[in-house]
Amino acid sequence: MANLQHIAERIFRHVDAGHLVAGYASAMGFVLDRYDDDPDFHDWVERSPGSDVEKLLACMVKSAAWNDEEWLANYLSARIRGAA
């Protein structure tokens, strides 16, 4: 189970220190919003290890998709299909 608050605190701290690009803060904000608003995404986060959430953030930043709901839906769909 991912501890989203712990991940968020760490991401924001590293962005503030200049160790991560600002896209990580945008992606983390988007993830926090989706976690609150989307029950399916909330369930995925709760079932996933923290490393899966961190990988999601890295992929979002690499793809410049930090506010893209369609990208997130496709990513999660691919992850779920890959786990099946």
Domain encompassing residue 68:
4-83
How would residue 81 be classed by pLDDT, with cut points 50, 70 and 90?
confident
Helical spans, DSSP H, in 1-84: 4-16, 23-37, 39-47, 50-62, 69-83
* pLDDT above 70 (res 10): yes
Note the pLDDT of residue 84.
Answer: 42
Which residues have a Cβ under 8 Å from the Cβ of 36 and sit 6 or more positions away? 42
Q: What pLDDT sits at residue 83?
A: 60
pLDDT per residue as tens digits for the range 25-75: 999 999 999 999 999 999 999 999 999 999 999 999 999 998 999 999 999
Could you give the number of structural domains in the chain? 1
